[in-house]
Chains A and B, each alone.
Chain A
């Protein structure tokens, strides 16, 4: 007889049940999944905010190594993920691409500032440079259809730049995301840097979009109607709404989660 797993939310590096005590069965299957509440979401944002300074303050190389470690852990569990993703060639491809995505962004951490930063030749005796910095707490609404790859394609570039993440798992297929949390928990990603909430999108997305301590929200997984509502709520604190096609993999996407900071100093003796 199997020892079955209780799926839980991933908040502040811990696996927790929804404070609401609620659960749902995605697609009418036999597995109970926590139905996260507004309170769970707020706990996750608070954990992320607390983790932000230290994560952003890590050296780029260290962040790269931690991301790479996460790719190692994911690859090590490939059989489990292929099964969760429904098995077969497509599932295998989704897993492989997810690993590849994390590895790719792991290599970007210490190159992004060299590609998107600048030294600006101002007309005066000043040294002036511009560097990318993380925007802060990033909300990610994972796409429904590629429940692992879709999420990884957003979490990896956000983390690469030094952001922290509160992600909503695919509502209909949340198990790969909740299992990805186990990968992150057993890699070196510090507690609170990634938080993953499962539940009903229509309950959770509006709160994520209107939360005053979330700096940006990625809507790759949203419908057009949801995007309109997210954009309206996002205005409450001038949230950045990131609307870039789901398959995007580029430094431009990393930069979408970043702020450009320009520093001036006089030159003189």
Chain B
């Protein structure tokens, strides 16, 4: 049954009113101050410097954490080095049991973790509840099983752990990135010093509590909080044998340069500017959902976000009409509300970066579209945004915005789509929407990107390797491939 244009307009106006449905927070106990997790317990820091971690949706301080200094980092690395001697010699099946145990506790405490993640980072509770925390637990469960099966993973080799892994993670998926880093490192028999992001340290500190609850041997996991300086102390510590970093390409390059000649093993998971390509034969409604999930998931704070929409010219008009209508139904607001689609921007600095890039888009001549949407008075917010009339040379088409901002470009032929999609120094992910199977495989083969989502987007799984081509970094996290960076196979 065809729907007339008038009817669609009427439908579009039909915005549902939702009663507030906030997730309870009374079961969560965030301490007013935290120390550092070193040698199996929370300890007072040497550094006297502290900084607040705030809720970006309210700008209220949640807690104060340590800005760890050289002495603190050295203590943490020493604790990890000491623990390595016994942990690496522990029978592999025992190692597995600790990881299984951690996974179970993550599941048991998932509600608490989800709330903390949302309060500290600003992401919608439905995302932390349904994506971040379950995937974190699944990641530990998956790698737990590998701990005593490493010889089966690498034929003709005797896999051995490397030593202390120094790991620095970003603020967009705080607990999930911790899981991506710690689970394979421990399964392989390494010990860890991890630095969570400056703006989102709380779930990592909760994880420290979970390590204690799991009776994980002291020093196997150490967590030091701080800003960029602390991170650079972790990666440059001479006793750290393996460095794993997820974050911006800019910082990734600095790290690659800084550890040159040290023999440290390095994996980098950096930025992206993914193309999400929609062909004229794609199921448009599904594609619209995929586009929305691709760029507005987690406020666009996603390194593999589908931030460049490439639409085949013949369907650009109807697709954009549907997309704009869908944007107007996205609910922006209290991240703790179970109905919220778009939460708070993680920090003031990030909000300013997004604003700056959006302004550059307007100045360079792109056409801005934002749905009408009430912005809360306090906190950091940015409405879902899309740009049409974008040229490939515009900054919004080249630079990673890391916000809910989509740049729309068009193409006519499949080879033009390939050309435009690959026209970037990044290569983390790509999306393809078409009903034609042979075209999916043809496109998937040509995308210079580590992950290709066909007729879907932003799917993650512990068994599925994730990582980039080109300046999006190297090494893989997840799957059997995710073990390799943590093992000496020579």
* Chain A interface residues toward B at CB < 8 A: 115, 118, 120-124, 126, 128, 130, 135, 215, 224-225, 227-232, 234-238, 240, 244-245, 250, 252, 259-266
Interface CB pairs A-B, < 8 A, 16: A122-B463, A126-B459, A224-B261, A227-B261, A235-B253, A235-B257, A237-B470, A237-B471, A245-B490, A250-B156, A252-B157, A261-B444, A261-B447, A261-B449, A261-B451, A261-B452
Contact B480 A118 (CB under 8 A): yes
| B449-490 interface code vs A (CB 8 A; 1 in, 0 out) | 111111110010101111101111110100111000000011
- Which residues on the A side are within 8 Å of B257 (C-beta)? 231-232, 235
A207 to B463, CA, bound (A): 39
Contact A266 B480 (CB under 8 A): no
| B229-266 interface code vs A (CB 8 A; 1 in, 0 out) | 00000000000000000000100111011011100000
Q: Which of A135, A262, A265 has the most CB of B within 10 A?
A: A262
A123 to B259, CA, bound (A): 37
- Which residues on the B side are within 8 Å of A227 (C-beta)? 260-261
A5 to B82, CA, bound (A): 62
CB nearest to A250 among chain B residues: B156
Contact A265 B454 (CB under 8 A): yes
Query: Which of B138, B261, B444 interacts with A228 by CB under 8 Å?
Result: B261
- Which residues on the B side are within 8 Å of A262 (C-beta)? 450-452, 464-466, 479
Query: 8 closest Cβ contacts across the A-B interface?
Result: A228-B261, A231-B260, A122-B461, A235-B256, A235-B257, A232-B260, A120-B463, A265-B454
- Which residues on the B side are within 8 Å of A261 (C-beta)? 444, 447, 449-452, 469
State whether the Cβ of B212 lies closer than 8 Å to any Cβ in chain A: no
Query: Which of A122, A232, A238 interacts with B473 by CB under 8 Å?
Result: A238
CB nearest to B466 among chain A residues: A262
State whether the Cβ of B186 lies closer than 8 Å to any Cβ in chain A: no
Contact B453 A238 (CB under 8 A): no
A235 to B249, CA, bound (A): 10
| B140-157 interface code vs A (CB 8 A; 1 in, 0 out) | 000000000000001111
Query: Which of B456, B467, B490 interacts with A266 by CB under 8 Å?
Result: B456
A225 to B261, CA, bound (A): 7
Query: Which of A118, A225, A236, A245 interacts with B479 by CB under 8 Å?
Result: A118
State whether the Cβ of B425 lies closer than 8 Å to any Cβ in chain A: yes
- Which residues on the B side are within 8 Å of A228 (C-beta)? 260-261
A261 to B430, CA, bound (A): 11
Q: How many residues of B contact A (CB 8 A)?
A: 47
A234 to B252, CA, bound (A): 12
- Which residues on the A side are within 8 Å of B188 (C-beta)? none
Contact A265 B440 (CB under 8 A): yes
Contact B474 A264 (CB under 8 A): no
Contact A122 B464 (CB under 8 A): yes
Shortest distance from the beta carbon of A128 to any chain B beta carbon, whole Å: 5
- Which residues on the A side are within 8 Å of B465 (C-beta)? 118, 120, 130, 260, 262
A234 to B258, CA, bound (A): 11
Query: Which of A121, A224, A225, A265 interacts with B463 by CB under 8 Å?
Result: A121
Shortest distance from the beta carbon of A12 to any chain B beta carbon, whole Å: 22
State whether the Cβ of B268 lies closer than 8 Å to any Cβ in chain A: yes
Contact A120 B461 (CB under 8 A): yes
State whether the Cβ of B116 lies closer than 8 Å to any Cβ in chain A: no
State whether the Cβ of B319 lies closer than 8 Å to any Cβ in chain A: no
Contact B253 A236 (CB under 8 A): yes
Q: Which of B138, B455, B464, B467 has the most CB of A within 10 A?
A: B464
State whether the Cβ of B270 lies closer than 8 Å to any Cβ in chain A: yes
| Known contacts A126-B456, A264-B453; A135/B260 CB under 8 A | no
Contact B268 A238 (CB under 8 A): yes
A235 to B260, CA, bound (A): 9
Known interface pairs A128-B463, A238-B249, A260-B467; 9 further A-B residue pairs with C-beta atoms within 8 A, sorted by A's residue number: A118-B481, A122-B463, A231-B259, A232-B257, A250-B156, A262-B479, A263-B444, A263-B452, A264-B451
Shortest distance from the beta carbon of A132 to any chain B beta carbon, whole Å: 10
Query: Which of B256, B452, B471 interacts with A231 by CB under 8 Å?
Result: B256
A123 to B464, CA, bound (A): 10
A231 to B256, CA, bound (A): 7
Shortest distance from the beta carbon of A262 to any chain B beta carbon, whole Å: 5
Q: For residues 122 through 161 of chain B, which have their beta carbon under 8 Å from a beta carbon of chain A? A: 138, 154-157
- Which residues on the A side are within 8 Å of B461 (C-beta)? 120, 122-124, 128
Contact B425 A237 (CB under 8 A): yes
- Which residues on the B side are within 8 Å of A252 (C-beta)? 154, 157, 489
- Which residues on the B side are within 8 Å of A231 (C-beta)? 256-257, 259-261
- Which residues on the B side are within 8 Å of A236 (C-beta)? 253
Query: Which of A122, A238, A245 interacts with B253 by CB under 8 Å?
Result: A238
A99 to B456, CA, bound (A): 47
Shortest distance from the beta carbon of B4 to any chain A beta carbon, whole Å: 30
- Which residues on the A side are within 8 Å of B476 (C-beta)? 260
CB nearest to B256 among chain A residues: A235
A224 to B261, CA, bound (A): 7
- Which residues on the A side are within 8 Å of B449 (C-beta)? 261
Shortest distance from the beta carbon of B5 to any chain A beta carbon, whole Å: 30
- Which residues on the A side are within 8 Å of B253 (C-beta)? 235-236, 238
| Known contacts A261-B450, A264-B456, A266-B455; A120/B256 CB under 8 A | no
- Which residues on the A side are within 8 Å of B444 (C-beta)? 261, 263
| Known contacts A224-B261, A252-B489; A265/B474 CB under 8 A | no
A80 to B270, CA, bound (A): 49
Q: Which of B138, B253, B268, B461 has the most CB of A within 10 A?
A: B461
A194 to B436, CA, bound (A): 36
A123 to B479, CA, bound (A): 13
- Which residues on the B side are within 8 Å of A244 (C-beta)? 490
Shortest distance from the beta carbon of B70 to any chain A beta carbon, whole Å: 23
CB nearest to A261 among chain B residues: B450
Contact A120 B470 (CB under 8 A): no
Contact A259 B481 (CB under 8 A): no
Contact B452 A259 (CB under 8 A): no
CB nearest to A236 among chain B residues: B253
- Which residues on the A side are within 8 Å of B256 (C-beta)? 231, 234-235, 238
Query: Which of A225, A238, A245, A265 interacts with B471 by CB under 8 Å?
Result: A238
- Which residues on the B side are within 8 Å of A224 (C-beta)? 261
- Which residues on the A side are within 8 Å of B259 (C-beta)? 231
A122 to B461, CA, bound (A): 6
- Which residues on the B side are within 8 Å of A235 (C-beta)? 253-254, 256-257, 260
Contact B454 A263 (CB under 8 A): yes
CB nearest to A216 among chain B residues: B474
